Chains A and B, each alone.
Chain A
């Protein structure tokens, strides 16, 4: 059974049809890309899957459960984590706190323990500190653990955002333009990291990306959208040569 199964997803904003009859099935362990010109509806798909918007029509089944109508935090707790097009870190908090926040919904202590700093609190804090530092080490950020996250260099902020998403222990990771603003060398590292993430954490990954080199290099399957419609789907080689895709990106007669 597919890990994520979206059927006939349609999203209106007032009179504007942002996404129309979108279908996708993600199998466990796949890396799938979603591409298309600006305004094609890619980010809207992400926002609907993560519960930021409730879809006008359609079903979204994740891991056997229908998640339409669930709140964003419930969807995250169910196992879908995401990053954002324009980085959204908790910029005034320290790097390690950014990771610890992702552990909050698993934290074994409650409000009372928080007020009174009970034994349970100290145990929980020790647990989360170990957990967070381990994740930071995986992303080579442990040296910055106590720095304010907003002060990190751009590349490190991107890594931290992915690390934070991963710290929620997702089954499906959704990356919104992870290579935005990266130079070719950084993009190469990112591609390596995406493969490594999938293998190490047994993830399924769905990503939006504009850098074709990254999309073609990392995705096993690609879906192309334009004006809210799916225009083409297939392996990278197929997409690269499809005239409809070339037209969507470059216009007719290109």
Chain B
């Protein structure tokens, strides 16, 4: 029983990080129908920003976690904005496949560019290739759980879940209550009509490419805090892929679906990993194939038949 609960809790923790990444995939897909492969690298970029900025933030603000996560979100948001403007916008009315290949190109570019070392604003940016110890943004502590289930819950876990939930609530509010959020939903539903209604498509797309990456940036900080280690500029690939799978599982383009998918993914991964670490990796794909064959549009996605 204790073992079971422990895996469930671990799954919720990793699921929270997946959810933050998955939201960006799903928002961008919902609006421009693009699988933004570079999203995984934005997540990586966010994690490294934490690594570089945390000491400075601690110096300026006294505390590290809140200013660092905000700074990382601002930087990754900006990166997403620039990425869309330079690489995706020129291809917007061309074939979707070329946009997808471009996304791959952007992804490879970010990974290899970050593998270089360079100096910017007095900070020496060296991402890899060696392991980097992520700064302790908070002091990790175990929280004693009453009863003798042997549960292991740390304040980092609570932080991961708490921050994710706060950001998700903010996102739901943003998408459902603000004008730009409503415009985003309109564009996702029907771009030409939304455009005829006077919605500025460019602004909406840019917003999606700012908000999604900002969430991934926050995910990066949580990832760094949780694992305490940054492996290389390629570290985004697998968590990114998992998060993408989660977004598809929930029904790509659907925001609650991405969150649901991420938690399913995180929890099933935690359980499978406890059996065999390789299985933990593969389980995501087995679940996905199974669900897609039964519900091609994902758990919460809507199926849109082609009009003849």
Chain A residues packing against B (C-beta within 8 Å): 43, 47, 52, 84
Contacts and interface: CB of A to CB of B under 8 A. Distances in A.
B59 interface: no
Main secondary structure of the interface of B (DSSP, over half): loop
Interface of B: 308
Contacts of A47: 308
Contacts of B308: 43, 47, 52, 84
A176 B308 CA distance: 11
A84 B308 CA distance: 8
A183 B308 CA distance: 24
A43 B307 CA distance: 11
B305 to A, nearest CB: 9
Contacts of A84: 308
A52 B308 CA distance: 8
Contacts of A43: 308
A47 B307 CA distance: 10
A47 B308 CA distance: 8
Q: Which 4 A-B pairs have the closest CB atoms?
A: A52-B308, A47-B308, A84-B308, A43-B308
B29 to A, nearest CB: 25
Nearest to B306: A52
A68 B308 CA distance: 19
A35 B285 CA distance: 50
Nearest to A52: B308
A52 B306 CA distance: 10
A43 B308 CA distance: 8
Nearest to A46: B308
A126 B308 CA distance: 34
A52 B307 CA distance: 10
A64 B241 CA distance: 54
A42 to B, nearest CB: 12
Nearest to A82: B308
B113 to A, nearest CB: 36
